[in-house]
Amino acid sequence: MEVIPRYFGVSTNAVPDAMPDSSSVLVSFQATGANSLGDPDESAIFPGTLEWATDIGDLSGAPGNTDFRFFRFQLAFDILADNSDLSFNTPRPVLDFLRIPFRF
């Protein structure tokens, strides 16, 4: 499984579906099962507490644990991905929505 563009939207300066070439967005994921109380099991996070998967498909192939009940994500915006100079006029992209399709 992968996150493809129709499942997220980015706008820049109030222009929908626009992101300058100077910027990039990285979506990363972690997953875990439930503990005995039904809460996320913080001791069994995949790929690891300090690691994040940038391909959501990696979560489905996790060794020893494919019974994930919870996932979380983080977004990293790099508004100077092209190593240009930062100024007050540097465009700042905004995430409008993110949909994660699941099959149970």
Say if 50 falls within a structural domain.
Answer: yes
What's the confidence (pLDDT) of residue 1? 46
Q: Are 22 and 91 in contact (CB under 8 A)?
A: yes
Say if 100 falls within a structural domain.
Answer: no
Q: Report the C-alpha gap between 93 and 28 in whole angstroms.
A: 17
Q: Are 21 and 79 in contact (CB under 8 A)?
A: no
**pLDDT tens-digit profile of 20-41?**
888 888 889 999 889 999 999 9
Say if 27 falls within a structural domain.
Answer: yes
pLDDT at residue 2 tops 80: no
Looking at the 3D structure of the chain, how many domains does it have? 1
Helices and strands of the chain, counted as H and E runs: 1, 5
Q: Report the C-alpha gap between 16 and 96 in whole angstroms.
A: 8
pTM of the entire predicted model: 0.74
Domain of 73 in residue numbering reads as 21-82
Say if 76 falls within a structural domain.
Answer: yes
Say if 1 falls within a structural domain.
Answer: no
Mapped onto helix, strand or coil, the DSSP state of residue 12 is strand
**pLDDT tens-digit profile of 72-102?**
999 998 988 888 888 888 888 888 888 887 6
